[in-house]
Amino acid sequence: MKIDLKKGRKLIDTLLFDLMLIIFLGVVSQWLAWRFRFPAIVLMSIAGLIVGPFLGVIDPGESFGELFSPFISLAVAIILFEGSLNLNFKEIRGFNKPVLRIVTIGAFIAWITGSLAAHYIAGLSWAVAFVIGGLFIVTGPTVILPLLRQAKLKARPAAILKWEGIVVDPFGALLALFAFQFVLFAIGDETAGAFGLFFLASLFAVALGAGVGWLLGWLFENGQVPEFLKAPIVFGVVLLTFVLSDIVMHETGLLAVTAMGMVMANMHIASINDMRHFKENISVLLISSIFVMLTASLSLDVLIEIFNWRIIAFVLATLFVVRPLSIWLATIRTDLTWQEKTLIGWIAPRGIVALTVSGYFAGVLLEAGFEDAELLTALTFALVFSTVVAHGFTIGWVGRKLGLSTGDQPGIIIVGVGRFVIKLGEALSENNKNVLIMDPSWGRLQPARLAGLKTFTGEVLSEHTEYEMDFTPYETMLLAGEIDSYNALVVNNYVPEFGRENLYQTAIHQGDPADFHASLRGRMLFGNEWNIHELDKKAEEGYKIRKTQLTEQYTYEEYKNNWRADTILLYIQREQGKIDFFTTGSIPEPKLGDTIVSFTSPSNQSDRIQERLQNKRAKFTTSQSKE
């Protein structure tokens, strides 16, 4: 047998190019989505369509060959496990009833009504309609988690959508498998024993996943695995668990990895956060790549078929009838408000699981003689792309209109409390900022409570705090503790949640600031000389917060001319409401209409008189312009 080395090398080069382009487009799409506040999944799907069916640059299905489907399946398993690591039961304490209703009764209603729509509207046979109706109940972490990060919803609706997306994902695949088994039984290709095998395989998947998850958690907690091996071992065991379960029965692997993640999430493992961050980074990369791969693998014939009027009508029925009806009926006699029901009833984007599993069922249904199953690929992609676009662009707007969003300008957490922190918190609150002051001591927080500021008693590094407190409404964290190393430790712990650009700490006062590299600390507030002890000392001396608005009559140049050496510049309140802090090496440029907030000596009587005059003049000018 002669081996064609040139042909093999060309195949490898093609595969490497396709893989490189897929990863690059996925990551760039994520960055553009962050930069311009667009739904990332929409941009990834568009990128795949452009380089795939539109331009024909790549064809992942052809390049990857037999590896295409296994790669997608393993990636989905990792993504689903990473999502299930966030399913701690403490999160839904107080509203577990609506969650349970939605993932059981709501899923069943969505299956029945979706199947009816697939038969009467899309024109599918009853057999194919009930299979695809079961599959389309899924939403999934691949789509819902990125949308929740973008939308900044309040804690309860966000938690319900997250739990539904992760829990229902494997159930949707199993429901479709159950419907398929029933179809084969009805046409005489399967015996009643197949149903027993189906249920036994499902129980085996849950037991396998839960048992492996508990065993891993026990090994980690008892020091049987070194820290540097924990994430790689979890990574390998997740794939092994998925494959073993899938060998027993197709599509049960998703159920196994979900059970594994949920067990580990509720064992309160000390290193769970490190694993979660690692898995989250891997998941972002996989989600980016898979969406580009799937859309790039579509053919022009499938895209043209999407515009079939029956498919369009089915998508509209799913969006405006099936989903809202299932949520409203399932949540009867629960404590969900009509606003929460409306939002949850609207948001249900389908994702990777729907695309991959529908491809599998399209093949087996066609082999079983159901010719209308060839429509499933176009139908699934139409529903996935439509829901991703519709819900991706509207989730934030709908949340704000229904009063379920934390707002366009998220709040600020200040860790540590003292005289200066209280004055700063009051100033930020007067600028309509949602300010929260955290400290482990209830007594130290007493002056902040008396000042009317929101407080939280707890250790910011504690796992208990993570469960008890919702960080979603906050975008910025200021570290004002008395120990520099502690501030730096908190910064590094919260980089994955906030991003280093949104983490600040007061100046170093113990040793040389150069000892703390920029990668080990937050952005330094107010200048190197103003550490928290100096700021508190100035507050004791009677320093006051001053706000000076810049106008055409009182410009920034005039402000600098009157600026005294003992004035500490804190931040700029932009005319649109944004806060820009003064930091070491970064002095934001004020503009007309902005307000400069500073910390100033009480002896500057003339400055205060000038400030009041300028503020009155600014208010007069504003009222005149309105008239």
Tens digit of pLDDT for each residue in 342-363?
A: 988 898 888 777 777 777 777 7
Residue 95: pLDDT band by 50, 70, 90 thresholds?
low
Closest CA relative to residue 285, chosen from 142, 419, 168: 142
Name the most confidently modeled range: 173-182, 206-215, 395-404.
206-215
Q: Side chain identity at 418, as an amino acid letter? A: G
Q: What is the pLDDT of residue 280?
A: 59
Nearest 5°: CA angle at 86, between 82 and 91?
170
Q: Which position has the token pair 């002896």?
A: 603
Task: Provide the b/e sequence for 418-452 (b: ≥16 CB within 10 Å).
Answer: bebbbbbbbbbbebebbbbbbbeeeeebebbeeee
**pLDDT tens-place string over residues 252-309:** 887 888 888 888 877 777 666 556 555 556 767 777 787 788 788 888 887 888 888 8
As a whole number of angstroms, the distance between CA 609 and CA 94 comes to 53
CB count, 10 Å around CB of 238? 26
Average pLDDT on 505-528 reads 65
> How high is the pLDDT of residue 2?
45
Displacement of CA 146 from its chain's centroid (Å)? 4
Residue 341, class by beta-carbon neighbours within 10 Å (0-12 exposed, 13-18 middle, 19+ buried)? Answer: buried
The residues facing 374 across adjacent strands are none
317 vs 226 pLDDT, higher one: 317
8 A C-beta contact, residue 520 and residue 552: no
Q: Which long-range contacts (CB under 8 A, 24 or more apart) does 606-611 make?
A: 607/546, 607/562, 607/564, 608/546, 610/562, 611/546, 611/547, 611/548
What pLDDT does residue 507 have?
77
Q: Which helix (H) or strand (E) holds 537?
A: helix 532-540
pLDDT at site 409: 58
Largest Cα separation within the chain, whole Å, is: 96
pLDDT of residue 5: 45
pLDDT band at 510 (very low <50, low <70, confident <90, very high): low
* pLDDT at res. 314: 92
The SS3 assignment for 437 reads: strand
**Local confidence band at 520 (pLDDT 50, 70, 90 cut-offs):** low
pLDDT score recorded for residue 465: 67
Distances (CA, A) of 336 to 144, 151, 231, 470, 531: 20, 20, 38, 19, 47
Cα–Cα distance, 454 to 449 (Å, whole number): 7
* Residue 3 confidence (pLDDT): 45
Residue 613 vs residues 504, 564, 565, 617: alpha-carbon distances, Å: 33, 18, 22, 6
pLDDT at 608 over 60: no
Average pLDDT, the chain: 77
pLDDT at 320 over 90: yes
pLDDT grade, residue 429 (50/70/90)? confident
Report how far residue 251's alpha carbon sits from residue 359's, in angstroms, rounded to the nearest whole number. 12
pLDDT, tens digit, for every residue of 449-468? Answer: 888 888 888 777 775 666 56
pLDDT of amino acid 325: 92
Task: Tell me the mean pLDDT in the region 3-31.
Answer: 71
**How big is the chain, counted in residues?**
627
pTM of the model: 0.66
- The pLDDT of residue 1: 42
pLDDT of residue 109: 92
